[in-house]
Amino acid sequence: MAVRYSILPILVEILNMLQVNQLVGFGSGGGALPATASFITSYNTTANASTYTIAASDFGSPTLEAGKLVFTLSGRGGAASWNTPTGVTESGDALTKISAQVSGYNGAAIYQLHGRGAGALGEVIFTLGAEMGAIIVGLYMITGEVASGVSAIRESTASPLSGGPVIPAKGVAIGVGETENAATATWVNLTENYDVTNANTIGSGASVTDESGSTPTITCTWTSSANPAMCLASWGPPSTTAGTVTFKEVVSSSANQASYTFSSADIGTAGATRVVVLYVGVWNDGGSAITVTGVTVGGAAASRQAQYVGHSSGGSKFELWTCAVASGTSADIIVSTSSGGVVCQMCQVGIWDCKGILTTSCDTDGIHNTSTTSQSTTLSCPANGVIIMGGYSTQSAIGFTNITEDYDSSTHASANTEGSNYYSGASEAFGTDQVDRVVGMTTSSEQLWMVSASFGPSA
């Protein structure tokens, strides 16, 4: 007697196996599930208040998927200037401030709640330090595999607003812009989600989901603009490898010239993921403006990541540069400058060997303080990333707070140029997310300059 078999159960089993393989990372596309940024809705009010309590119904009572809840906030101050909220909650759960930018009476900010479970949106409360005249809020959800910490932050008060955060592969970016004139916004390299005019306050939000990864120049241009502000943030998949940072040496020269070559500088051990980070400080006592026109490491061009301009004339610059250099343990480092026909008078370079970090910074800052013997700033850094800082004083050696010092003039003679120019550097790697980590410098004098940057992990 003939035995008959049905092929249908076999086909179903094969399809089920393929679906499982996709989920665990085999087959086409493997790896992390892409993150997706979904705009839900926006809310605005012209009420004058120092605390805004927003019911879920004001957002349309949405039911949210599990993931990362993100609020974009923009608005205008009341009797005083813009006040960044001291606290934001949803259903009683505190959100974390990712980015904030103030521009006169206007301001913008981004907040997140990572790991929010699926379910209906609850009551949202924004608590501010002083009364505001109007606010505009955008509501987003990021789903898929996404790290708890931010990949990059960019803030701007330029017109047009502009920033260039790295967006990791399978990652997302969200931006918010604000201005005070009646206007409309045009976003480049983000898709506009809302554009709201509210009591002479205009807020706009935009986002993108990026499967391949990129470092785009994102702009927000207003048809009419006054005191604009913008915040950008990007997120990517969770990191699987810790970045490392190792200080190597500091080199310097007090020669009066436009270009400096530091031969056979120590750049650390070779490695496929090595990124050489350089703290470059140049000075011109004559006061003529100096521009660092380029830096190379073994002939490879480095990229400027952060800069602080010293003196109103621009006669000094303090900058951080990065360069991916896989091979070799030493290399010639060349710093080229331009200063309107007046040669540079001194140059120092601090050198770090980093492994497993991105060449594009996550967060940056620069400060000059002439009235106190200490100063500090806040930097955010994702888990498995690093922070690097460079300092300068005209009066005395520098110490660092809340970050590990690598060199100063007392430990490295090359950090002191011409007897009264004291350079110093610090760095640290972090295994957990650092949100607004306070890092600073101290000295016995009242002349301090500082430049700093954080870098996220490359994998």
Where in the chain are the domains?
Answer: 36-235, 244-455
Tokens of 172: 């997302």
Give burial (CB, 10 Å; 0-12/13-18/19+) of 297: buried
Which residue carries 């109103």 as its tokens? 312
- Predicted TM-score (pTM) of the model is 0.86
Give burial (CB, 10 Å; 0-12/13-18/19+) of 298: middle
pLDDT at 311 over 70: no
Euclidean distance between the first and final Cα of the chain, in Å? 61
Q: Please give the Cα distance from 317 to 297 (Å, whole number).
A: 19
Give burial (CB, 10 Å; 0-12/13-18/19+) of 369: middle
Residue environment code for 44-81, b if the CB has 16+ CB neighbours within 10 A, otherwise e = bbeeeeeebebebebbeeeebeebbbbbbbbbbbbeee
The residue among 25 and 246 whose pLDDT is bigger is 246
pLDDT at 285 over 70: no
Highest-confidence segment of 160-164, 227-231, 358-362? 358-362
CA geometry: angle 129, 377, 333, nearest 5 deg:
155
- How high is the pLDDT of residue 448? 79
Which pLDDT tens digit goes with each residue over 188-222?
Answer: 999 999 999 887 788 999 999 999 999 999 999 98
Residue (of 253, 242, 442, 437) closest to 354 by Cα position: 242
240, 459 Cβ separation under 8 angstroms: yes
Q: Please give the Cα distance from 26 to 311 (Å, whole number).
A: 56
Contact partners, residue 15, CB within 8 Å, separation at least 6? none
pLDDT at 30 over 70: no
Q: Please give the Cα distance from 65 to 143 (Å, whole number).
A: 7
pLDDT at 416 over 80: no
The residue among 180 and 177 whose pLDDT is bigger is 177
325, 274 Cβ separation under 8 angstroms: yes
Contact partners, residue 106, CB within 8 Å, separation at least 6? 74, 75, 76, 77, 82, 178, 179, 180, 201, 227, 228, 229
- pLDDT band at residue 170 using 50, 70 and 90 as cut-offs: very high
- What is the pLDDT averaged over residues 27-41? 74
Q: Which amino acid is at 330?
A: S
416, 271 Cβ separation under 8 angstroms: no
Sheet holding 244-253, edge to edge: 244-253, 346-355, 274-283, 316-324, 303-310
353, 276 Cβ separation under 8 angstroms: yes
Estimate to the nearest angstrom the gap between the alpha carbon of 281 and the chain centroid. 22
What share of the chain has pLDDT > 90, as a percent? 62
Mean pLDDT of the residues in the chain: 87
- How high is the pLDDT of residue 84? 82
- How high is the pLDDT of residue 182? 65
Q: Please give the Cα distance from 162 to 155 (Å, whole number).
A: 8
- How high is the pLDDT of residue 9? 43
Tokens of 397: 């050696």
20 backbone φψ class: left, alpha, beta (φ>0; ψ -120 to 50): alpha
Q: Which residues sit opposite 322 in a β-bridge?
A: 277, 303
- How high is the pLDDT of residue 218? 95
- What is the pLDDT averaged over residues 254-267? 94
Tokens of 78: 């009341």
Question: Which DSSP category does 273 fall into?
Answer: T
Q: Please give the Cα distance from 312 to 378 (Å, whole number).
A: 24
385: part of which helix (H) or strand (E)? strand 385-393
CA geometry: angle 115, 119, 124, nearest 5 deg:
80
pLDDT at 272 over 50: yes
